[in-house]
Chains A and B, each alone.
Chain A
Amino acid sequence: MSIICTEENRCLTVHIQGELDHHRARELMTQLDREINCALPRKLELDLSGLTFTDSSGIALLLRTYRNVQELGGTMCVRNTPQQAKKVFWAAGLQHIIPFEGV
């Protein structure tokens, strides 16, 4: 599990790679928080193309990140959501809260 961040014009793109579960969630949240607080993005793009597995830990991570970005006055979208992750997020109705692109 790792994240790769790129930033341009206060648009922060975060690629999440590997398997996301409770074991990895807290560390990933800390890392994401740090990146967001550092970049103060107007727009955050979460690219999940490298996410090979997620359970409900991913739901908590997305909701929390979405809240953080909104509090800073930014927007957020999620891209390239794999089938498995989509099924988990849709079970929680996340598609009604967070903008998902290309699903």
Chain B
Amino acid sequence: MKLDNYTVLEFPSRSANEGFARTVAACFAAQLDPTLEEINDIKTAVSEAVTNAIVHGYPDRIGKISMKLRIKEDRVLEIIIRDWGTGIADVAQARVPMFTTGGEERSGMGFTIMESFMDNLKVRSELGKGTTVTMKRRIACRVCK
């Protein structure tokens, strides 16, 4: 069976939407019959990416964030989270564990968690134009062989 499905969500960069976005991602992923651990990994990674967009993409204003969810071939869930905000000056540095330009309530572990909880993470960013985070995670098939 070839699964091919997608959805797009758009919301303002209000922190109250962090919980909403990860719940939507979990609901969409449910059609792949993931384990609880897989669902939790996806929720955690989405929470990190959306929080980054809110905190770093739009540090002093409310802007637009979009989340695209797509089921690709071979049961791969692709999640694209995009903002049109500040952008990251040095993506490699931002991905270093414990590096943060956020406040004391940030740990600098966002990208590290996205990397370790998903199979694949790509970050594209341009100063003044915004940031796009693309994450992929294959959901193992529990019934089919």
A49 to B110, CA, bound (A): 23
Report if B131 contacts A (CB, 8 A).
no
Q: Taking CB as reference atom, which chain A residue is nearest B109?
A: A56
Chain A count of residues within 8 A CB distance of the other chain: 22
A38 to B113, CA, bound (A): 34
CB distance from B76 to the nearest CB of A (A): 21
A60 to B97, CA, bound (A): 13
Mask for B6-36, Cβ within 8 A of A = 1, else 0?
0000000001101100100000000000000
A56 to B52, CA, bound (A): 11
Report if B43 contacts A (CB, 8 A).
yes
Q: Taking CB as reference atom, which chain A residue is nearest B110?
A: A56
Report if A64 contacts B (CB, 8 A).
yes
CB-based contact A26/B44 at 8 Å: no
CB-based contact A55/B47 at 8 Å: yes
CB-based contact B44/A55 at 8 Å: yes
CB-based contact A21/B104 at 8 Å: no
A64 to B19, CA, bound (A): 23
CB-based contact A55/B19 at 8 Å: no
A44 to B15, CA, bound (A): 29
Mask for A37-51, Cβ within 8 A of B = 1, else 0?
000000000000000
CB distance from B42 to the nearest CB of A (A): 11
CB distance from B140 to the nearest CB of A (A): 17
CB-based contact A88/B113 at 8 Å: yes
Report if A59 contacts B (CB, 8 A).
yes
Query: Within residues 66 to 103 of chain A, which ones have a CB less than 8 A from any CB in chain B?
Result: 83-84, 87-88, 91-92
List 6 interface pairs A-B (beta carbons < 8 Å), by A numbering.
A21-B47, A22-B54, A22-B105, A23-B19, A53-B47, A60-B105
- Which A residues lie at the B interface, using CB under 8 A? 19, 21-23, 25-26, 29, 53, 55-57, 59-61, 63-64, 83-84, 87-88, 91-92
Starting from the known contacts A22-B47, A92-B113, 9 additional A-B residue pairs (CB-CB under 8 Å) come to: A22-B54, A53-B22, A56-B48, A56-B109, A57-B51, A59-B109, A87-B37, A91-B112, A92-B97
